[in-house]
Amino acid sequence: MKRILVTGACGSIGEELVSKLIRDGFKVCAFDNSEDRLFHLNKKFYKHKNSENLRIFLGDIRDKDRLFQAMQGIEEIYHCAALKHVELSEYNPFEALKTNVIGTNNLIEVAQENKVKKILFTSSDKAVNPSSMMGTTKLLGEKLAISANNYTGSDDIRFGCVRFGNVWNTNGSVGPIFKNQINLNKDLTLTNKLMSRFFFTKEEAVNLCINACNSLIGGEIFVSDMGVAKLGDIADEFNKYNKKIKIKEIGAHAGEKLYEELFTEIEGERAYRYKGMYVIIPENIDKKSTRYIKLLKTYKKGKPVSIALRSDSPLTKRVNIKKLVKVLMHE
């Protein structure tokens, strides 16, 4: 039975991961810095048949000693702990740096000391050509995780990344904000009607993590084949549930851009479609190594991408906005 550590276990994705892993019978160490949310997470599984497999760890990834304690006997890590809000990170840059970069480096070093087998870093499409502090720290986190494969001294430990778009119906995301405004009879406020984003569900995000970890050779960046929606179209769909209110544009927040990217043109040259997702092969790895040869042999079976993928591109698929909004409004 695998013993798995989930950092940021009380976040939207972390909690979903913990739930799935517990249901699947794994031993899970849930690591988070929120005492209250850890309490409720523990309570959630109190009467579950696999409740004895859950271990609660209160701590912060900025604290290497606590990470070391939590990592005893761990085989795999899903690293979800991060500061993720663009505007808050923009005005608290040193805090974003401490958590998203130094915290990630702490985790990498401690994982190596404890001979963890697989470490998956959860990143964001905002790490691609970043315009924000949050995106920049996520890019640095990716670089640290990918580069860690070069100095492990062994193929027994593997580091990789997944890139998320906007996860629908999570804390601070546009869906719950619009739903709350509708219920309070307040106007729907959005930054720019033309702003486009990649969206997928929490279930799809968790499946990406699980599939990426199972496939991980070392150094890959895994990206889900997500759909795209414009904020204006999402607002229009929500507006149908309360036609008494209006839609108001308030302008972009600090660090935001009109579109997001799943990977750059340069990365596209090293990207392949593989088992329903995109996989980007690392460039900073010894081309003669057994790991690199295995990467090519595995992923070149997929279809090469060769281009960048932006949310404002006509090549992207569209999200079923009507379905997503309907499910959220009837929760």
Which tokens go with 128?
A: 């691609």
Does residue 8 sit within a domain?
no
Does residue 75 sit within a domain?
yes
Does residue 245 sit within a domain?
no
246 catalytically annotated: no
Q: Residue 297 sits in a domain of what CATH number?
A: 3.40.50.720
8 A C-beta contact, residue 74 and residue 114: yes
Tokens 């996520």 found at: 138
Q: Are strands 118-124 and 158-164 parallel, antiparallel or unpaired?
A: parallel
DSSP string, 28-73: EEEEES-HHHHHHHHHHTTTSTTGGGEEEEE--TT-HHHHHHHTTT
Tokens 């984003």 found at: 197
Task: Look up the pTM and report it.
Answer: 0.94
SS3 state at 171? coil
Q: What is the pLDDT along the chain (331 residues), one digit of tens a residue?
A: 799 999 999 999 999 999 999 999 999 999 999 999 999 999 998 877 888 999 999 999 999 999 999 999 999 999 999 999 999 999 999 999 999 999 999 999 999 999 999 999 999 999 999 999 999 999 999 999 999 998 765 558 999 999 999 999 988 889 999 999 999 999 999 999 999 999 999 999 999 999 999 999 999 999 999 999 999 999 999 999 999 999 999 998 888 899 999 999 999 999 999 988 999 999 888 888 888 899 999 998 889 998 899 999 888 899 999 999 999 999 8
The one catalytic residue in 126, 143, 179, 193 is 126
SS3 state at 274? strand
Does residue 163 sit within a domain?
yes
Which tokens go with 59?
A: 């701590």
CA dist 203 and 58 (Å) reads: 25
For residue 152, what are the contacts with CB-CB under 8 A and spacing of at least 6? Answer: 112, 159
Domain span including residue 270: 60-171+200-225+263-314
Number of structural domains in the chain: 1
